[in-house]
Structure 1
Amino acid sequence: MFTPEQVQTITTQLARKQDRTQLVELDGTPLIVKRLEAPLKHWGYPVLNTLARLLGQPMLRAVPAPGGSEAQAIEVARLRALAAAGVSVPEVLHVTPEWFALSFLGANSVDQLLRQQPQKAEEYWKNGLQAILELHRLGQTASQCFARNMIAHEGKISFIDFEDDPSKVMPLAAAQARDWLLYLHSTAYILHMDRQAIAQIYLDYLLQDDVAVQREVKRAASAFSWLRILPKERKPWGRDVVSVQAAAQVLHIVVKLMRQQSR
């Protein structure tokens, strides 16, 4: 916990900018401070939940991200629980009703590394896959397992951003399968690699996870692989379309490889 003087120092720094998440310095040490955000309203939750039920895909269920003090409480609790389980996450240093402070793990997300160092992208991408596998072996799941929420530092991958808890609204196997799919969705379109090679590497790591998780990923891949027909060009369609197309193309190959191995 911080002293009153340290709390005042952070409060003064926060007042200089309106950004919700800020990098601040305290006694020469960089910290991440996250303010409360306004409580959120998600009118699309019923639609997502209906879609999940109709398609038989529990991982599509809406994961409530309430915002406000409730979201802060969720994130603080999850960070502490994950750390206790052995997951590499930021340390919670101080909590107030208006903000909380975390240790700073650096600015090198897997997303940034894939973009900035394409010659080493395969290595960085595999590191992310290994981190997901180790997370699951500890019986845990991420919240939003996008490459931007995975920080590379000190030779390991750490996870950030835990304002919701997927395991509260779906089985753990579905939440962990969701991790695999979100990571692929956020990276496949960045990788300058043959799709067949991406699929094989992806499957090599997936097959080391629990059988129930593998089954959930295969079910989702079979349901969504048709999205590979979407346009591949970013302009004029935008990043969202091409990221879904690339992930679906890889998933289509993954399904075929899994079928071949089951014969």
Structure 2
Amino acid sequence: MAKDKHVSRIHLKDGDAWVKQYGDDRRVVRLRAMDWVVRKLGIIALRPPPRHTGAEGREVEQRRLGELSRLGVHVPRVLGHGDDSLVLSDIGTTLAHRLRHGSREEARVLLVAAVAAIAQVHASGSYLGAPVARNLTVDHDGRIGFLDFEEDPGEVMPLLQAQARDWLVFTAGVARHAPFDEEELSAILAHALRQGPVELRDTLGRAVGRLSFLKTLTRALGERASGLGKAVGSLQRALWNSAGAVLLAILTADLLHDGDLEVLRALAQWVD
């Protein structure tokens, strides 16, 4: 959580906690542009949710934390709040940090646990929203937790699209950190996807198909961008290995020409 400039650590007698403030947001024009692009590409799962600020942002996050907690999802406890702030319990080190500093075997164990935790959220009938590696945590017992819920995709898309979004965002976020190639990463993803409903795999498959151009586009654009291509390739392989998926609708040339770089910029926010 410390990566967000509106979040600060405090020390309480029972341990560390975090104060999160919901200030102004200046991305309105950018978010509208992103929304136009993903609508044009037909990728509903990537529509940007409304960015709530102030008291509204605090209320959205507090509501979602309550919803997920009641389902048994490991999220921070609300220790207190102001009009536009929350005091949240600490639930461990970020997955991004653990992947950067741990061994290859530890990375495998953590990713298996992370995809299982996401699949469990979906099995409970819910979704996360922004499960990038910096928004997942690992506590001393190895339990996976989730952070950052001031944006609610459920405001702009149905449940299946929100769940497909979770897999897109998660894979884009961990692909650069994970010390595995597409085949190894896809094997980890495939096991979790196989447990989910066919309808989710189909929804995710259509979105991945419309992003398949990123594999070629990102090869020469540096490590961060190439992580997006790796993510798309890993999800393609995972879905092919998950029975029942209807995959990879092909975009027309003019649609690619109009939208590819904008989608790349939109996705880049999920590469930690």
- Bin for the TM-score computed over the shorter chain: 0.7 to 0.9
Seen in structure 2, the aligned counterparts of structure 1 residues 114 and 41 have a Cα distance that, compared at 3 Å, is closer
Q: Structure 2: 5+ residue runs without aligned partners?
A: 247-272
* SS of aligned partner of 2:20: strand
Shift of residue 177, structure 1, vs aligned partner: 0.7
* SS of aligned partner of 1:38: coil
Work out the number of aligned pairs and report it: 241
1:94 to 66, 80, 98: 80
Partner of 2:234: 250
* SS of aligned partner of 1:145: coil
Residue type of the alignment partner of 2:203: E
Partner of 1:159: 146
Partner of 1:42: 28
Query: Which structure would you say has the larger RCO, counting Cα contacts within 8 Å and 6 or more residues apart?
Result: 2
Shift of residue 26, structure 1, vs aligned partner: 2.1
2:132 to 123, 139, 146: 146
1:219 to 190, 206, 219: 206
Residue type of the alignment partner of 1:116: H
Shift of residue 31, structure 1, vs aligned partner: 1.1
2:188 to 186, 201, 208: 201
Distance 1:180 1:201 in 2: 12
* SS of aligned partner of 2:10: strand
TM-score by length of 1: 0.83
Residue type of the alignment partner of 2:158: P
1:135 to 118, 121, 124: 121
Q: Structure 1: 5+ residue runs without aligned partners?
A: 1-17
The answer to whether the 8 A contact 1:40-1:66 is kept is no
Partner of 2:91: 105
Larger mean CA deviation between 193-202 and 210-219 belongs to 193-202
TM-score by length of 2: 0.81
1:84 to 52, 65, 70: 70
Within the alignment, does 1:116 sit opposite 2:101 as a pair?
A: yes
2:57 to 54, 59, 71: 71
Residue type of the alignment partner of 2:230: A
Distance 1:35 1:200 in 2: 39
Shift of residue 55, structure 1, vs aligned partner: 2.4
Shift of residue 240, structure 1, vs aligned partner: 3.3
Structure whose CA Rg is larger:
1
Distance 2:46 2:245 in 1: 27
Partner of 1:240: 224
Distance 1:261 1:48 in 2: 27
Larger mean CA deviation between 178-187 and 117-126 belongs to 117-126
Distance 1:257 1:41 in 2: 38
Partner of 1:15: none
Seen in structure 2, the aligned counterparts of structure 1 residues 175 and 200 have a Cα distance that, compared at 3 Å, is same
* SS of aligned partner of 1:44: helix
Distance 1:205 1:28 in 2: 36
The answer to whether the 8 A contact 2:94-2:138 is kept is yes
The answer to whether the 8 A contact 2:115-2:192 is kept is yes
Residue type of the alignment partner of 1:125: L
Shift of residue 87, structure 1, vs aligned partner: 1.2
The answer to whether the 8 A contact 2:64-2:149 is kept is yes
Moved over 4 A (4+): 258-262
Shift of residue 48, structure 1, vs aligned partner: 2.7
Residue type of the alignment partner of 2:143: K
Residue type of the alignment partner of 2:235: L
The answer to whether the 8 A contact 1:41-1:66 is kept is no
Shift of residue 53, structure 1, vs aligned partner: 2.8
The percentage of aligned residue pairs carrying the same residue is 28
Residue type of the alignment partner of 1:80: G
